[in-house]
Amino acid sequence: MTSHAQSPEGVTGEAPAKRLPSAVVARLTVYLRALNGFVAEGIERVSSDALAEASGVSSATLRKDLSQLGSYGTRGVGYEVDNLLQHLSAALGLTRDWRVAIVGAGNLGRALARYGGFEVRGFEVVALLDTDPEIIGNEVGWLRVTDAANLEAIFRRTRANMAVLALPGSAAQQACDRVISAGVRSILSFAPTILQVPRGVTLRKVDMATELQILAYHAQRGEAGGQTGENEHGEPAAGTAP
Ligand SMILES: NC(=O)c1ccc[n+]([C@@H]2O[C@H](COP(=O)([O-])OP(=O)(O)OC[C@H]3O[C@@H](n4cnc5c(N)ncnc54)[C@H](O)[C@@H]3O)[C@@H](O)[C@H]2O)c1
């Protein structure tokens, strides 16, 4: 795929007021996916021809669609990938305050990335990272797995402000440290290990085995238990609102 760094398009970042035809909306999702591919490759600016090619549409169609969003293109002038990505996300109603990056694209990470329920609750999954060359570049939902070696740059580019750790315990502390140095202050960890975080960082741990053990404890005592909504520390259980 070719792309050419050129001057950025003038995009406003505001959702268009008018209702878009559903065919255009469908193509916007294709452009979004293509732009995510450029992000995965570390490409910051792209020509309309390259974006059209990556999306499987003609340049004329692409420019017409984007002009409906207020992103007027001039032939030969490029788009700033991140800017256009955000503009399209806003147009599609995908812009949320919380932008979640999932570190670890194994069974759990992929399942979380595919789960549509986060989006409707205001959590946009913006990146899925892994270190395995066999996994990097794979498409999962509308994301492409990116190389965790570039974690800081990916977090910066995607403006991730929340991280989910879905990787082995042995790799978790280092990944956690890097996530924090990338500016993230809210971390949800599935890793089966104790993590140290500095003051000012919120770390929540999900441990299904612990939850099952607590269930087993109540069951063997013949307790109905009910829905406590608390974990073993008397804190709200993972998944319940704090
Ligand atoms: N808390 C829970 O309830 C719960 C439930 C299931 C799994 N887990 C834990 O979640 C983690 C993931 O489980 P899984 O089944 O998806 O495992 P998995 O082996 O399928 O996936 C782990 C992925 O992490 C990647 N990885 C390793 N080091 C990395 C790094 N430094 N940066 C980014 N990616 C890295 C691996 O390449 C792999 O793709 C495990 O630690 C597992 O024990 C917790």
Q: What is the pLDDT of residues 148-204, one digit of tens each?
A: 999 999 999 999 999 999 999 999 999 999 999 999 998 999 999 999 999 999 898
Cβ contacts of 166 within 8 Å, gap of 6 or more: 102, 103, 104, 105, 106, 108, 109, 112, 190, 191
Query: Are residues 161 and 197 located together in one domain of the fold?
Result: yes
Which pLDDT band holds residue 213 (cuts at 50, 70, 90)? Answer: confident
Query: Are residues 48 and 135 located together in one domain of the fold?
Result: no
Q: How far is the CA of 6 from the centre of ligand 1 (A)?
A: 39
Domain containing 87 — which CATH number? 1.10.10.10
Query: Are residues 105 and 186 located together in one domain of the fold?
Result: yes
Domain containing 181 — which CATH number? 3.40.50.720
pLDDT digits (tens, 9 = 90+) for 217-234: 888 888 765 544 444 444
- Residue found under tokens 């002038």: 77
118 found inside a domain: yes
Query: Are residues 203 and 141 located together in one domain of the fold?
Result: yes
Asked if residue 234 belongs to a known ligand binding site, the reply is no
* Three-class DSSP labels, 159-199: CCCEEEECCCHHHHHHHHHHHHHCCCCEEEECCCCCCCCCC
Query: Are residues 102 and 207 located together in one domain of the fold?
Result: yes
User: Which mutation among 167, 194, 212 tests ligand 1's pocket best, with the greatest number of atoms within 8 A of CB?
Assistant: 167
Query: Which residue(s) pair with 128 in the sheet?
Result: 102
Q: ipTM > 0.85? A: yes
Radius of gyration of the chain (CA): 21
- 69: domain range? 22-91
Query: Are residues 52 and 160 located together in one domain of the fold?
Result: no
Query: Are residues 187 and 117 located together in one domain of the fold?
Result: yes
Cβ neighbours, 10 Å, residue 184: 20
127 pocket-lining for ligand 1 (C-beta < 6 Å) = no
Query: Are residues 198 and 107 located together in one domain of the fold?
Result: yes
Tokens representing 14?
């505001």
Full-model pTM = 0.64
Query: Are residues 104 and 76 located together in one domain of the fold?
Result: no
106 pocket-lining for ligand 1 (C-beta < 6 Å) = yes
Average pLDDT, the chain: 82
Beta pairing class for 186-189 and 162-165: parallel
- Residue found under tokens 């440290």: 177
Asked if residue 108 belongs to a known ligand binding site, the reply is yes
Q: Which of 91, 109, 135 is the last residue of a domain?
A: 91
Query: Are residues 166 and 84 located together in one domain of the fold?
Result: no
Q: What is the largest CA-CA distance in the chain?
A: 73
Which pLDDT band holds residue 74 (cuts at 50, 70, 90)? Answer: low
232 found inside a domain: no
Surface-to-core class of residue 56, CB atoms within 10 Å of its CB (0-12 exposed, 13-18 middle, 19+ buried)? exposed
Query: Are residues 104 and 155 located together in one domain of the fold?
Result: yes
Candidate ranges 11-25, 38-52, 101-115; pick with highest mean pLDDT: 101-115
CA dihedral 22, 28, 33, 36 (to 10 degrees): -150
Query: Are residues 104 and 209 located together in one domain of the fold?
Result: yes
Query: Which residue(s) pair with 103 in the sheet?
Result: 129, 165
Number of domains composing the chain: 2
169 found inside a domain: yes
